[in-house]
Amino acid sequence: MIGRCIIIKNYSIFEVVEIINDLNPNLIEENTVRNTKHIVDSINKRFNDINLIYELLFSNEENVGILKSNYNTFKIFYKHPIKKSKDVCIVISINDNKDIKLITSYLSPIEKRVRTYER
């Protein structure tokens, strides 16, 4: 018996940007964004508002950075709309059907992204 080979898509950062840009905020029920228990818990502890995460993902707000942290797992950074010294990091994973799973989110100091160098 010959085994089957399963090919799993390995997304690039550029493809993730396209997938996120294709999300339609007017068709939330048709979007393929799923929550995990962890993100619900982390948002309740850190932000108290899951709408902030959705607003950042579904708006035309440009992200300030994306890192590929693991196979099809990405960290997306957005400027915090109120706390100017913080970024909001949203960790997602994407499957072959371009379904997005929200893994976790947290605040990150902008110093991790923006560095000032002494000369």
8-39 tens-digit pLDDT: 789 999 999 998 888 766 655 555 777 877 77
Confidence (pTM):
0.81
Within a domain: 7:
no
Within a domain: 3:
no
Which pLDDT value is given to residue 57?
A: 85
Within a domain: 68:
yes
C-alpha closest to that of 31 among 77, 109, 98? 98
41-78 tens-digit pLDDT: 877 777 767 788 888 888 777 899 999 998 899 999 99
Within a domain: 115:
no
Domain around 54: 13-110
Report how many domains make up the chain: 1
Residue 103 contacts residue 39 (beta carbons within 8 Å)? yes
Within a domain: 78:
yes
